[in-house]
Structure 1
Amino acid sequence: MPDVIFPLDSTKTFTQQQLTGHNRWHPDIPPVATVKPGESFRVHCREWFDGDIHNDDSADDIRDAPLDKVHCLSGPFAVEGAKPGDLLIVDILDLGPIPLEEGPLAGQGWGYTGIFAKKNGGGFLTDQFPDAYKAVWDFTGHTATSRHVPHVSFTGIMHPGLMGTAPSHDLLTTWNTREAALIATDPERVPPLALPPQPKDAVLGSLEGADYDRVAAEAARTAPPRENGGNQDIKNLSRGSRVFYPVFVDGANLSVGDLHFSQGDGEITFCGAIEMGGFIDLRVDLIKGGMETYGVSENAIFMPGNVEPQYSEWLAFSGTSVTLDGEQRYLDSHLSYQRACLHAIDYLTTFGYSPEQAYLLLGAAPIEGRLSGVVDVPNACATVYLPTAIFDFPLAPTANGPTRIDPGMGAPRSSF
């Protein structure tokens, strides 16, 4: 087992640990450790809400989830010899939940998926699902099942939802400027168009005093993916993946967190993956001057891992860029994927699931989302592929009609 360079004590909160990570992006957050090219190491990661979501049958914790606190990131880790313009190679060697059969924190034998309320983050289908719901998933080896979404069982593609390098000061200014301009177009929108710097609840490693105050006022939130990688939520960044990150600061300052037991393409409920705490084993290396050599001026490129469930039969749903009220949009692939997801949800309800259970399932299970047509004006076409083997009943249409299942207790809804 590689040496643990960022240990976590499950009985303590993120800020009570021996080493303090961070939940904002800024080049002046000091690294917690330095590693050498070619070195392998293990990192422990907190679940992204630091234990605020519970293994129970209430969604009030999702409704009240403190978005200013996320994401709890382990790091930064400096890489010896890394300079701006290099490419940082990151190999994902292994990852998994905290190795305990049960416990109070997500990752200790369980994880969760949440539909976020429109007033607190929203989601891909927030207009159709404005309230908070939750599903708790139990882990048996690599398999996930849920009392809140019964009759399904699937192998998770475990992966870090968030990993990336630190931005330079210039890149940070670019982020804040362009996102502020977007917010200004509709500053009262719910949910907001973007999240500006927020000093409240900022965790900035070992920074204190005036340095903390300055950085907290400038540091970027970790919610979106950006040029440094960040919160890309790519389910195929699994074991065996190799990622090439642009380096913007001396040392690269790599950070990682937001581990997922499983996820469907798009993480559509916003907290759409099965969130967990756990460990990840990484190996790093450098390609000197690699950004210019390979034309990677921004955004990571990667080689997907070779460890994933082998589903061979699928039921696919398509959607086009026409709104629910019949308005035609021009090649709107975002809308077409929404419509494909809604068609899949409608289909699953014919078997007995509630719309919320179906929505949670699409976020958590290893569904495939694809842009199937982007040139046939005016309609873009997107598709959602459901692996049929995850269900314990026949999913395909037949002349006999859908098999009705017992939906169980349903997905817990938040109180008002």
Structure 2
Amino acid sequence: MASHRLSRQQIVYRLDQSIPPAVEIDPGDTVYFETYDARTGSILSDDDLLDHPHPVGSNPATGPVFVRGAEPGDGLCVTIESIDLAESGFLAVKKGEGLLAHRADHFATRIVPVNDGVVHFGDLRFPANPMVGVIGTAPAGDGISTSFAGPHGGNMDNRFITQGSRVHLPVEVEGAGLGIGDIHAAMGDGEITFIGLEICAEVAARVDLVKGAGIRRPLVETDHHWVTTGEGDDLGDAARMAANEMVDLLQARLELSFEEAYMLMSAAVDVQICQCCEPGEFPVTTRAVVSRDLVP
């Protein structure tokens, strides 16, 4: 299979079928996505504050990738083969924003080195946990900003999307229109300031095509877990969506009734927050997680 490289100059701020592809590939090819951080490389020092709107947008994704043979009703299986991080990223506080907006009285930025898999936050050290914030395909109809999540994927901010993960995505338009971006060197569940440890990176992803998959929504598969996703204007709606997808998965894979799967959910499935930076003002994303020891 062939490999392809996309520079971080080949960026989009929307997943949109009207955007010409940056590259055309065959199923099974690997694409190396060079990605910008969430502010397109504009944050270079602690003096660079998020006190003004970015002139072109936030959360850029590299792409789009046209997958030959991909048609509506198919699915992509995108395997994250590696995530190579830049030497530093940034954390920030935006005045009056985030989950603790009522306490965020000042703008602040911190450039944070990341060396040999270790994050250096002042005198504190903790392991990096590289993950992909934005991964998605172009939706049918109008496009959607890379700042938002939906049935197409998008800005899910799901820390289970990391090296080794397989992300199943629906194909809604010819060629799929895959984009990847918004890499974090580390991100706590919730991303409560709106900003994870934003960093430039290179992501190697193998892109396989599953004909007639009929995938409705993103599904994340790791060696140890199945992960369904949800999004909504409030936490309840988003959690309900992820749970609903997980109940369907349990019924299908374990041949259970709804009642059996629903009971099992309450005993063996974790419903978790992905991004909850400003509920009611900005859409929330969630996940439901089950062990593959229980669900092969």
> Above 0.5 in TM-score?
yes
From the two aligned structures, give the one with the greater strand fraction.
2
Matching residue of 1:7 = 7
Matching residue of 1:268 = 192
In the alignment, is residue 157 of structure 1 matched against residue 129 of structure 2? yes
Cα contact 1:161–1:257 (8 A) shared by 2: yes
Give the deviation of 1:304 after TM superposition: 3.2
Cα contact 2:60–2:146 (8 A) shared by 1: no
CA RMSD of aligned residues (A): 2.4
Match of 1:36 among 21, 26, 29: 26
Name the SS of the counterpart of 1:270 in structure 2: coil
Give the deviation of 1:263 after TM superposition: 0.7
Matching residue of 2:77 = 89
In the alignment, is residue 283 of structure 1 matched against residue 206 of structure 2? yes
Name the SS of the counterpart of 2:103 in structure 1: coil
Mapped partners of 1:123, 1:242: distance in 2:
30
Change in CA separation of 1:332 and 1:79 when aligned onto 2, cut-off 3 Å: closer
Mapped partners of 2:57, 2:236: distance in 1:
31
Change in CA separation of 1:80 and 1:155 when aligned onto 2, cut-off 3 Å: same
Mapped partners of 2:236, 2:22: distance in 1:
41
Matching residue of 1:186 = none
TM alignment of 1:163-242, pairs within 5 A: 163-169=135-141, 172=142, 219-242=143-166
TM alignment of 1:12-411, pairs within 5 A: 14=9, 20-56=10-46, 58=47, 60-66=48-54, 68-97=56-85, 107=86, 109-118=87-96, 122-147=97-122, 150=123, 152-169=124-141, 172=142, 219-271=143-195, 273-291=196-214, 296-297=215-216, 299-304=217-222, 370=272
Cα contact 2:21–2:63 (8 A) shared by 1: yes
Give the deviation of 1:130 after TM superposition: 4.5
Give the deviation of 1:110 after TM superposition: 0.8
Give the deviation of 1:305 after TM superposition: 6.1
Mapped partners of 2:91, 2:24: distance in 1:
34
Give the deviation of 1:117 after TM superposition: 2.4
Give the deviation of 1:68 after TM superposition: 4.4
Which amino acid in 2 is paired with 1:37? P
Mapped partners of 2:136, 2:14: distance in 1:
12
Matching residue of 2:250 = none
Larger Rg computed on CA atoms: 1
Change in CA separation of 1:26 and 1:305 when aligned onto 2, cut-off 3 Å: same
Change in CA separation of 1:4 and 1:81 when aligned onto 2, cut-off 3 Å: closer
Give the deviation of 1:40 after TM superposition: 1.6
